[in-house]
Amino acid sequence: MRRRALLRAVVVLTAVLGVNYVAWRWLESVNWSAWWIAVPLVLAETYSLVDVLLFGTTMWRVRVRTPPAPAPPDATVDVLVTTYDEPVELVMATARAALAIRHPHRTWVLDDGARPGLRAAAEAEGIGYLERGADWADRPRHAKAGNLNNALLRTDGEFLLVLDADQVPAPEILDRTLGYFADDGVALVQTPQHFTNVTEADPLGSQAPLFYGPIQQGKDGWEAAFFCGSNAVLRREALMQLGVVGYVRETERAVRDALRTGRRLLARARRRAGTPRETAALEAVAAAVDDALAAVDRGDPLGEVTYAFRRRVDEVATADLAADLVQIRADLARITGGPAIETDVELGAVVVDDDALERLAQRDLSPVHALTQVRDLVAAVDVGRTHEAQAVMPMATVSVTEDMATAMRLHALGWRSVYHHEVLALGLAPEDLPTAMTQRLRWAQGTLQVLLRENPLTVRGLRLGQRLMYFSTMWSYLSGFAAVVYLAAPIIFLCFGVLPVTAWSADFFARFIPFFLASQLLFVVAARGVRTWRGQQYNLALFPLWIRATVTAAANVWWGRPLGFAVTPKVRGSAAGAWRLVLPQLIAMVLLVVAAVVGLVRAGLGLSPWPGTAVNLLWVGYDLLVLSVIVTALRYRGYVPEERSPA
């Protein structure tokens, strides 16, 4: 209780000082004569304030759980080891450990690479083996989400333990987590991801102790701890409900879209209607569209809604058919100068003059043909979702990272989650910078896909705290744009003397320094002794990656440009050419050093004020310290066991 009280006091202090500083910046200190750098800087500072406030909100309700009741002995569990192209022996090491889990269960290897060698190895040790069937051919595969969805319909345990190919579980993992499911409302129990091939220095920032600790515990306090893709136990009933609800919602959306498209077709057709009869028919169908949309919004059964709608359109079309036939006969007779439709007695069929039909086809059709177009639009809705391998997809497929989207949908349905803060599986982290960047790019892209497709601030069913917890994670990946400004501002001042603030006055220092120190204190108190510096470094140092993730995720969502799914390699790659991946950071470091030299020269010549120069030199020093992690990462040559301390 004392720790929570201290933490909340620091949160309040940071919020008050931060709002005071940023409000002053907007109202009194923006140098509008240099708006092109002054406005981006104050926007970046506002972004950082929101980021700190969201972090403080997360920490406000940190939950440290007591161990749950013992696992129910009759709970049935499927342990799912997901793999694509990882080395067979690595996958089998995880599968063997999964087989040794103490609680009764069945172990399955989900091989999305369909490798005969892995099948043989698994079956030789009595481990189940699942791969995609023929129904997935020529249909979207949805990467890991599709792999899990395929397995969900081919297994039947009450609970699922999901493991990545490199996450070796402890024998007691189910004994320590299944007890939470005594609460029928719990759908998910997430445990930390911890890596054995990471040195104390953690040059690639892999361990994420702040996230797998205080942040997840804070989200847990808001009932928003989310699925992280591995080392998690899920309730099958919750996932299947999610799949069915998703199927219904997708079908509703398709019917609603078809009806709205039909409404637009009818509006255009009414503008072209030439007779009162056509206008009346079109208005009758427009009324049927409105009634059908209202029925969908009420939640009426879709089958009944679409059937009733098609019947009404057919009635209007049938009533109009006789008049249409009379008009067609008259038009054909006028075109040919005589009868164009005759009956062939021998064939017992109606024969139409081909030349007359060709000329008739060149004319504008009656607007009434829109009736059948609208009817056919609704009838064509793919209720069976034949474009997909499965009609029901419990794991979310809207993102290349299925975990967060799935958890958010579960929470929106009213299910609860648990974060169990105990390392119960040991994995392998990337051992080179390119691999680490590939992994982080996928995380960022997937998270931003969810933000753009299913913004948690607008998702129905989520409580306010849950909305903020999901949004805070998504918001953090937008930091790349703010980082560019933070790097550019001191360079511009030191080299050209352009002030983004009206003056480096006492007011500035009196407001900025307390806010900066309070925000750092907040991280220290929230971390409770956990090292967070490496994570703070990468938050800034990977700014080009975060910008790329934002741009590519937006292009994917808005314009359909593919992202692909990059599986994180589990073996160290070549370090050759890695520097090209961080060229923007290296250029930024050079520019910062040059700017520092130029700034000192300008101040010595009296061209720039010393107070402003001193502030920006400190700023440059901080930026260089943060970016230095890139140099450390480039020099890193992988984990050597002897490097790890005995502790």
What percentage of the chain exceeds 90 in pLDDT? Answer: 72
Q: Is the pLDDT of residue 647 over 50?
A: no
Using DSSP, how many helices (H) and how many strands (E) does the chain show?
Answer: 20, 12
Residue 362, burial from CB neighbour count under 10 angstroms (0-12, 13-18, 19+): exposed
Residue 487 has pLDDT above 60, yes or no: yes
Higher pLDDT, 371 or 115: 115
Q: 193, exposed or middle or buried, with CB in 10 Å at 0-12, 13-18, 19+?
A: buried
What is the mean pLDDT of the segment spanning 173-185? 97
Q: What is the pLDDT of residue 485?
A: 97
- Specify the pLDDT at position 373: 78
- Give the pLDDT mean for 9-23: 98
Higher-pLDDT residue of 354 and 203 is 203
Torsion angle of C-alpha atoms 402, 404, 405, 409, degrees rounded to 10: 130
Q: 359 falls in which pLDDT band (50, 70, 90)? A: low
Residue 333 pLDDT > 80, yes or no?
no
3-state class percentages of the chain: helix first, strand second, coil last, to nearest 5:
60, 10, 30
Domains of the chain: 77-234+395-446 (3.90.550.10), 245-379 (no CATH)
| Buried/exposed code over 55-93 (b: 16+ C-beta within 10 A; e: otherwise) | bbbbbbbbbeeeebeebeeebebbbbbbbbebebebbbe
- Tell me which residue of 454, 444, 563 sits closest to 140, measured CA to CA: 563
Range in 451-465, 541-555, 571-585 with the lowest mean pLDDT? 571-585
In whole angstroms, what is the distance from residue 234 CA to residue 253 CA? 28
Q: Which of 238-247, 356-365, 570-579 has the lowest mean pLDDT?
A: 356-365
For residue 494, pLDDT beyond 80: yes
Task: Compute the distance between CA of residue 550 and CA of residue 433 in angstroms, rounded to an integer.
Answer: 20
* C-alpha span between 291 and 312 (Å, rounded): 11
Looking at residue 640, what is its pLDDT? Answer: 78
Q: Strands across the sheet with 77-83, in order?
A: 128-130, 106-111, 77-83, 159-164, 232-235, 186-190, 416-419
Closest among 446, 437, 396, 424 to 568, alpha carbons compared: 437
Contacts of 31 (CB under 8 A, 6+ apart): 38, 499, 500, 501, 502
* Interval 111-128: pLDDT, tens: 999 999 999 999 999 999
* pLDDT at residue 453 in the model: 94
pLDDT score recorded for residue 313: 86
pLDDT at 361 over 60: no
* Residue 341 pLDDT > 90: no
Mean pLDDT (whole number) for 176-182: 97
Which candidate, 185, 143, 222, places its Cα nearest to that of 401?
143
How distant, in Å, are the alpha carbons of 76, 176, 417 from that of 179?
Answer: 13, 7, 13
Summarize pLDDT for 414-429 with one digit per residue, the tens. Answer: 999 999 999 999 999 9
Query: Which among 561, 512, 427, 578 has a CA at the least distance from the CA of 91?
Result: 427
> How far is residue 78's CA from residue 130's CA, in Å, rounded to a whole number?
12
- Which backbone phi and psi does 161 adopt, to 5 degrees? -100, 115
> How confident is the model over 511-538, as a mean pLDDT?
92
Query: Which regions of 514-583 does DSSP assign to beta strands (E)?
Result: none
